[in-house]
């Protein structure tokens, strides 16, 4: 029953996304691209809608979860029936390419579901909140708020929860799955979370479709081939790790927040590109929805949204009125969808540092020169007096070293970052392509932002490194990096691509 419920939820989520996705005539796509994009739109919309309704005072009770699911399914089904007569674009993938994407995508789903939740963050940061939503249905249950008193100060005797103000996107999806199956299952609540890695290449191909077959194909392949999409540092300790594959703390797949943020962010960019190219207001709204979905998965989604706005402002300020209108629609949709969560978040206790408050030039300047905060290290504290305390390394040097190690770590990233460097719009032709400019700037801005965050973090950086920082943050930029790399294969109309290979696509003129 639990399995069937989870399958039904995934189906309804996908159908909801199908209902949101603009028509095939406006945004041509093949079946693969459509399935992937639709799932991401649905997976954004469903938990955001649940949050909005909870914010309005409704309890996330079984009847509400079921009503939402069935409504989503019904609307989607109606849309699927309406679209029957509109053909999809034919797939341009060769058999081996289908096998490549299929193996990695289906493999990632099977691996996610092959074990119950088995990592610290997925269990304690997310699934516990999902359990609270499932059992109590209240986004202000004392389980969330009971560690502080009415004055907002720490209660002397409080309830236990790690990061109570982490976003509720994953917990809501898990609670939906539990309601659909009438029971909480540590394995099957992951079902709606099993499709992120499968969807990423598809949405990148969808986003790059207007630029021709090859950019779409290579962008998708670059993303799918990046090891970090599945696990990091795999085989770092040698071949004996094979017997422990999937058991360690280095798996990206599963119930964590970084992968859904990365994939929904990529989905948002894909929709935005298509919205601007089509042009299509509904697609712009879809981009805003996906961006809000990304924010609802992990707090860094807000930072990514900020980077995107800045990248568009700086890299393409002279876009026409229509482009600005579409961007405005995307931003407005994002704000509307994210507002219930952002307001609600203010009511939750915060046990992590507020980076927004620390993100000031004076604090950054101070940390640029500062030494590592060794006194925050539990290891130093366990070891008593420390030589490290006498000669602590500079925080700046440590952060730079960690980023450099990631850029050159083939086991985790392949050659993604070298390719990205190569894909920067060095030539005049590529520089004229607006998407190449703003995608590149977005990735560069994101990297700079994450570097600054490491610079000002109040915690001991050496300890953070052990938890997968900064690679888990850099993962958020995989989508735009892969898209920018895919655009390496874009060539203006005069290129020698055969019309037969282009199927129904046409190369765009530089914006």
360-379 binders of other proteins (CB under 8 A): 376-379
Shortest Å distance, C-beta 22 to other proteins? 31
User: Does 143 sit near other proteins (CB under 8 A)?
Assistant: yes
Q: For other proteins, which is the closer residue by CB, 309 or 464?
A: 464
Query: Per-residue string for binding with other proteins, 344-363, x by CB under 8 A?
Result: -----x-xx-----------
User: Does 131 sit near other proteins (CB under 8 A)?
Assistant: yes
Among 14, 39, 128, 490, binds other proteins (CB under 8 A): 128
Alpha carbon 57 to chain centroid distance? 28
Q: For other proteins, which is the closer residue by CB, 41 or 380?
A: 380
Question: Could you tell me which stretch among 65-73, 89-97, 275-283, 485-493 binds other proteins (CB under 8 A)?
Answer: 485-493
Among 56, 391, 428, 509, binds other proteins (CB under 8 A): 391
Q: For other proteins, which is the closer residue by CB, 31 or 379?
A: 379
Shortest Å distance, C-beta 182 to other proteins? 16
User: Restricting to residues 312-331, which ones interact with other proteins according to CB under 8 A?
Assistant: none
279 preceded by cis ω (within 30°)? Answer: yes
**358 vs 343: CA distance, rounded Å:** 21
Question: Could you tell me which stretch among 127-135, 261-269, 271-279, 280-288 binds other proteins (CB under 8 A)?
Answer: 127-135
Strand partners, 394: 371
Size of residue set near other proteins by CB under 8 A: 92
Query: Per-residue string for binding with other proteins, 151-190, x by CB under 8 A?
Result: ---xxxxxxxxx------------------------x---
Tokens of 21: 């996705």
Residue 291 DSSP SS3: helix
Instruction: List, as one string, the DSSP characters of 81-135.
Output: HHGGGSPPPPP---HHHHHHHHHHHHHHHHHHHHS---SHIIIIIIIHHHHHHHH
Contact 442, 311 (CB under 8 A): yes
Q: Residues 115, 120, 124, CA angle at the centre, nearest 5°?
A: 105
Among 44, 165, 190, 226, binds other proteins (CB under 8 A): 226
Strand partners, 231: 251
Instruction: List, as one string, the DSSP characters of 239-256.
Output: GGGGGGTTTSTTB-SSS-
User: Does 74 sit near other proteins (CB under 8 A)?
Assistant: no
Q: How many residues does the chain have?
A: 511
Query: Per-residue string for binding with other proteins, 200-219, x by CB under 8 A?
Result: ------------------x-
User: Does 137 sit near other proteins (CB under 8 A)?
Assistant: no
**509 vs 504: CA distance, rounded Å:** 16
User: Does 408 sit near other proteins (CB under 8 A)?
Assistant: no
**475 vs 468: CA distance, rounded Å:** 11
Q: For other proteins, which is the closer residue by CB, 28 or 486?
A: 486
Cβ atoms within 10 Å, residue 153: 9
User: Restricting to residues 33-72, which ones interact with other proteins according to CB under 8 A?
Assistant: none
Tokens of 267: 């989905």
Among 144, 196, 234, 438, binds other proteins (CB under 8 A): 234
User: Restricting to residues 420-449, which ones interact with other proteins according to CB under 8 A?
Assistant: 422
Q: For other proteins, which is the closer residue by CB, 54 or 145?
A: 145
**122 vs 102: CA distance, rounded Å:** 26
User: Does 382 sit near other proteins (CB under 8 A)?
Assistant: yes
Shortest Å distance, C-beta 295 to other proteins? 22
Shortest Å distance, C-beta 242 to other proteins? 5
User: Restricting to residues 239-298, which ones interact with other proteins according to CB under 8 A?
Assistant: 240, 242-247, 249, 251
Contact 351, 163 (CB under 8 A): yes
**212 vs 507: CA distance, rounded Å:** 6
Q: For other proteins, which is the closer residue by CB, 246 or 279?
A: 246
Residue 94 backbone dihedrals phi, psi, to 5 degrees: -80, 170
User: Does 419 sit near other proteins (CB under 8 A)?
Assistant: yes
Q: For other proteins, which is the closer residue by CB, 72 or 93?
A: 93
Shortest Å distance, C-beta 298 to other proteins? 16
**481 vs 417: CA distance, rounded Å:** 8
User: Restricting to residues 487-506, which ones interact with other proteins according to CB under 8 A?
Assistant: 488-489
Q: For other proteins, which is the closer residue by CB, 362 or 378?
A: 378
Residue 232: closest CA among 450, 69, 473: 473
Contact 458, 355 (CB under 8 A): no
Q: Measured between alpha carbons, how far is residue 187 from residues 3, 39, 112 in Å?
A: 9, 20, 9
Alpha-helix runs per DSSP H in 433-477: 434-456, 461-465, 471-474
Among 55, 124, 324, 359, binds other proteins (CB under 8 A): 124
């Amino acid at each position: 029953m639990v399995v069937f419920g989870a399958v039904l939820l995934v189906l309804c989520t996908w159908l909801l996304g199908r209902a949101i996705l603009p028509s095939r005539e406006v945004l041509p796509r093949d079946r693969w691209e459509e399935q992937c994009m639709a799932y991401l739109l649905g997976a954004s919309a469903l938990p955001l809608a649940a949050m909005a309704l909870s914010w309005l005072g409704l309890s996330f009770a079984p009847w509400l979860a079921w009503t939402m699911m069935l409504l989503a399914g019904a609307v989607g089904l109606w849309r699927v029936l309406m679209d029957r007569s509109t053909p999809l674009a034919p797939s341009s993938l060769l058999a081996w390419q289908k096998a490549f994407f299929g193996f990695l995508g289906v493999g990632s789903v099977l691996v996610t579901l092959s074990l119950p939740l088995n990592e610290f963050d997925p269990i304690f940061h997310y699934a516990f909140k999902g359990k609270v939503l499932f059992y109590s249905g209240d986004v202000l249950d004392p389980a969330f708020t009971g560690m502080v008193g009415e004055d907002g100060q720490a209660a002397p005797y409080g309830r236990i929860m790690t990061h109570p103000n982490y976003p509720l996107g994953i917990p809501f999806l898990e609670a939906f799955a539990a309601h659909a199956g009438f029971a909480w299952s540590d394995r099957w609540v992951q079902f709606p979370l099993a499709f992120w890695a499968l969807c990423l290449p598809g949405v990148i191909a969808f986003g790059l479709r207007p630029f021709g077959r090859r950019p779409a194909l290579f962008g998708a392949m670059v993303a799918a081939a990046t090891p970090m999409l599945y696990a990091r540092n795999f085989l770092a300790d040698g071949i004996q790790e094979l017997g422990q594959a999937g058991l360690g703390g280095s798996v990206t797949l599963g119930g964590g927040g970084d992968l859904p943020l990365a994939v929904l962010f990529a989905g948002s960019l894909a929709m935005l590109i298509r919205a601007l190219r089509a042009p299509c207001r509904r697609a712009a709204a879809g981009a805003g929805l996906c961006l809000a979905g990304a924010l609802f998965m992990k707090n860094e989604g807000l930072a990514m949204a900020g980077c995107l706005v800045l990248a568009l402002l700086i890299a393409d300020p002279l876009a026409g009125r229509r482009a600005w209108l579409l961007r405005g629609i995307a931003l407005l949709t994002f704000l509307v969808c994210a507002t219930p969560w952002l307001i609600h978040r203010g009511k939750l206790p915060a046990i992590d540092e507020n980076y927004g408050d620390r993100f000031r030039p004076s604090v950054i300047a101070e940390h640029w020169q500062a030494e590592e905060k060794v006194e925050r290290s539990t290891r130093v504290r366990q070891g008593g007096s420390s030589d490290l305390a006498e000669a602590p390394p500079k925080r700046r040097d440590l952060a730079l070293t960690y980023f450099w190690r990631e850029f050159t770590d083939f086991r985790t990233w392949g050659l993604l970052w070298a390719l990205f460097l190569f894909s920067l719009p060095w030539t005049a032709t590529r520089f004229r392509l607006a998407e190449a400019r703003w995608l590149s700037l977005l990735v560069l801005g994101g990297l700079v932002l994450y570097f600054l965050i490491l610079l000002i973090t109040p915690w001991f950086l050496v300890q953070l490194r052990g938890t997968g920082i900064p690679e888990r943050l850099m993962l958020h930029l995989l989508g735009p990096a892969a898209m920018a790399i895919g655009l390496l294969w874009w060539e203006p109309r005069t290129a020698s691509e055969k019309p037969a290979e282009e199927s129904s696509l046409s190369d765009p003129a530089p914006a």
